[in-house]
Structure 1
Amino acid sequence: MTQSEPKAYYLKTFGCQMNVYDSERMAEALARQGYRETTELDRADLVILNTCHIREKAAEKVYSDLGRIRDVKIARAKDGRETVVAVAGCVAQAEGEEITTRQPAVDLVIGPQSYHRLPELIARTTTARTHIVETEFPGEEKFARMKAPRRVSSPSAFLTVQEGCDKFCTFCVVPYTRGAEFSRPVAKIDAEARELVEAGAREIVLLGQNVNAYHGEDLRGRSASLADLIARLARIAGLERIRYMTSHPRDMSDDLIAAHADIPQLMPFLHLPVQSGSDRILAKMNRKHTAAEYIDLVARIRKARPDIALSSDFIVGFPGETDQDAEDTIDLIEAVGFAQAFSFKYSPRPGTPAAGHDGQVDDAVKSERLLRLQAVLEAQQLAFNAQSLGGVLPVLFERKGREPGEFVGRTPYLQLIRVAADGELVGTTADVVVNDARRVSLSGVIAEA
């Protein structure tokens, strides 16, 4: 690298959409400092791993990557090239100093609420010649100071509106890694949304650890609900679609349910995690709802928007789960019917109450239960997609496909769909006739005018 070349950064993102959003904001801040992005680790002057702590495998993958990064850092040092290694995100927040003890090649540990200080902290690592751990919780300051112009790499853009969670589910690390619930003011979100649309976004996905608990200040100094926020954003010219995730059943308010019926830009798709169908396990999880309450809530949502597609999360093998509890979860899945879902074996997270619960389930039992549950969910996903065969759906095209002339987009129900067409479709919305439906995706052709 010559003196005139800008420094390069390598940024790897683990986990949820909120981490993707945070990585985008970090990249924008680094660009403003003159950094350029690289996908080649050995060319990076700065390496950032933006981490996830939800499951044990995700955290261990970080340490595996750090071992490889250490070797690259050593090799670059032999050539006289300095490398700053940073661990960001929820593993950083949860494990702090332990990261630098376990992997001394790490120079900076930075929690999710301190990204606005990233350029300053990077500069300090190069002058102080010591490890820096920054894991405070100034959420409002973070958003106030992350003012770099928004960049849009896809017609669908993420926008964080709420962080943290006050629910304290016994399996979850979020209250400890992201802190208490914090909602951004309506005016700040509206301004960022308009900036995204001006940059080319046609769909905005509103993000939060518990997004439907949103209660940001409106322009009159009052508390606005998520439904109020969506109604305001729907007025932005050029914004065709609005989505939000992730939600908690206890915060699915009447006005938000009504918004699905009343606001055309709000897409008919809802990710509403239930986690289990057993009331006994739900109580042990501290989910604050029963299976019957969840099923009733789904009925009310479908009454407002009959065509809505539902998605959920399921944890299999929670401590104390019996065969009957697992059957209760299957019963709930069959009663509700999901368009898609995410399901995982329970993974103890250090510091959470459930990690110390009696009755930890054998891994072989977890695997067996997970296979059965996923078979039911996959059959439901295939059946939901099959309903689209022969129909016409509006598709927002997000990117080019792998094959020449292929474009990939999403239906209003978040189904992935592939279309072969002439010209350029990315960033446009077109009606598509669905001619093939598989479990994970659809195929189709552009409808004739």
Structure 2
Amino acid sequence: MTTFGCQMNEHDSERMKGMLESLGYVPAERRAEADLILFNTCSIRERADDRFIAHLQEAAALKRRAPDTVIGVGGCWAQSVKHEVFERFPYVDVAFGPGQVHKLAEFLTSESLSAQGFFEFESFTGDLPARRARRHQGWLQVSVGCNCVCSYCIVPSTRGREVSRDPDTLIAEIRRQAADGVSEVTLLGQNVNSYGRDLPADRRVSFSELLRRIDAVEGIRRIRYTSPHPKDMREDVIRAHAELPALCEHIHLPLQSGSSAVLKRMRRTYTRERYLDRVALIREQLPDCGLTTDIIVGFPGETEADFEQTLTLVDEVGYDGAFTFLYSPRRDTEAAALEDQVPHEVKVERLERLVGLVQRRASDRAQRFVGRSLEVLIEGPSRTDPARLRGRTRHNKVVNFDGLGEPGDYVQVEISGATSQTLTGAMSLVAAAAG
């Protein structure tokens, strides 16, 4: 299985693996050894499409040598090209959208493996069994789909309208995860903080209330969520960060642009001023909160003055990190047909300036951790030095440090250095209890 894209796709892939294991499948070490080759795809950016196609062509070559190999394509890309997937890629055996993952099992257990496609929303992948990548970390799919109409985004057409899962179902799932060793859970939704508004009145709870119910589950030490929408980031959720012991001191608040004019063309439904008001409220309630964001550079019609407004906002806010992207037209979106497309070389030059500023301000922000002792959840060995450990703070900062411990352990680390990306340090002599 190869997964592209966001955390929701990672969650869906874990559910696919759990479902396949229940059917008797076991993971293959290499693609060439597999009887079943699966791709869970993303269609948010053109680059993801290009990467996936290269992998799919490799699978096709393997199928020519071993014709009984089954090739399956799921996820948002499959949904977005549902009317042409088998015509363009005749070697694909099964294709399915994000709401039809369970149909993969029906296909694999059917008597005839003729090419089939499944693209209607029928169920949540969160209802399927999971094979987690890390025993101590779990995903919780609280909703799927999106009711927003951002002019650049393909998600509403690939994942559909927003649908929330029943709160009692979610709490039951969290309790099962906690009993199975999960201590850190990440809540997932395309617009996670609008959770619950579509539920029947007698079952409806707000996102902040859901957070409180999860915080009360024994064994859950950390709660994260992604991604909220600034228009729905309300004071009750921000207060929950200050009041709930398990809710981490980190908020990912997508900006996309610092120009109100660009935000209007994006159909983001908030202004620069409204966004800064949300940031001010977060900093008032949570002065130490880690704040990260998403920014798109070169949206159609973005002028140099528009881009300068993004730079001044980034400088004013001082993010702890940012995911920055060149605008890429996506099929079937309003923005793809807009005039005044920004030349590629202009987008690249602006991105370089933005990344430089983000890194400088993130480095400044990170210095507040130097000299402090922070709780770190160990994830494994450091990627740059296997002799050291890597973990993550409640602020979502990666820490490379000296010490002993196992993945899933919570330890105290004395922070001695900081860059825009990572912290460094050594484990305290008195470590926190293991997770």
Give the TM-score taking structure 1 as reference length.
Answer: 0.92
Paired residue for 2:313, among 311, 332, 335? Answer: 332
Cα drift, residue 218 of structure 1: 8.7
- 2:260 is the alignment partner of 1:279: yes
Q: Could you say which residue in structure 1 is the equivalent of 2:342?
A: 361
- 2:28 is the alignment partner of 1:38: yes
Paired residue for 2:3, among 9, 13, 19? Answer: 13
Cα drift, residue 320 of structure 1: 0.6
Contact 1:108–1:122, Cα closer than 8 Å, also in 2:
no
Q: Could you say which residue in structure 2 is the equivalent of 1:233?
A: 214
Give the TM-score taking structure 2 as reference length.
Answer: 0.95
One-letter code of the match for 1:14?
F
Change (3 A) 1:129 1:34: closer
Contact 1:157–1:204, Cα closer than 8 Å, also in 2:
yes
Contact 2:28–2:34, Cα closer than 8 Å, also in 1:
yes
Identity %: 38
The CA distance in 2 between the partners of 1:264 and 1:286, in whole Å, is 35
Paired residue for 2:402, among 401, 416, 420? Answer: 420
- 2:405 is the alignment partner of 1:444: no
> 1:335 is paired with a residue of what secondary structure?
helix
Matches within 5 A, 1:112-261: 112-124=98-110, 127-139=111-123, 143-144=126-127, 146=128, 148=129, 151=132, 153-215=134-196, 221-261=202-242
> 1:36 is paired with a residue of what secondary structure?
coil
Cα drift, residue 134 of structure 1: 0.6
Q: Which runs of 5+ in 2 are unaligned?
A: 431-435
One-letter code of the match for 1:61?
R
- 2:36 is the alignment partner of 1:49: no
Q: Could you say which residue in structure 2 is the equivalent of 1:65?
A: 55
Cα drift, residue 101 of structure 1: 1.7
String of CA shifts for 1:21-77, please: whole Å, max 9, x gaps: 000000000000000012300111111110000001101211111111100111123
String of CA shifts for 1:405-449, please: whole Å, max 9, x gaps: 422110111011112223x33211111101121222111111123
> 1:165 is paired with a residue of what secondary structure?
coil
The CA distance in 1 between the partners of 2:408 and 2:421, in whole Å, is 22
> 1:169 is paired with a residue of what secondary structure?
coil
> 2:71 is paired with a residue of what secondary structure?
strand
Q: Could you say which residue in structure 2 is the equivalent of 1:411?
A: 393
Cα drift, residue 185 of structure 1: 0.9
> 1:306 is paired with a residue of what secondary structure?
coil
Q: Could you say which residue in structure 2 is the equivalent of 1:8?
A: none
Q: Could you say which residue in structure 1 is the equivalent of 2:433?
A: none
One-letter code of the match for 2:408?
G
What is the count of residue pairs matched by the alignment? 429
Contact 2:107–2:113, Cα closer than 8 Å, also in 1:
no
Change (3 A) 1:447 1:31: same
Contact 1:50–1:88, Cα closer than 8 Å, also in 2:
yes
Contact 1:87–1:110, Cα closer than 8 Å, also in 2:
yes
Contact 2:39–2:72, Cα closer than 8 Å, also in 1:
yes
One-letter code of the match for 1:235?
A
Q: Could you say which residue in structure 1 is the equivalent of 2:16?
A: 26
The CA distance in 2 between the partners of 1:160 and 1:237, in whole Å, is 19
The CA distance in 2 between the partners of 1:328 and 1:139, in whole Å, is 42
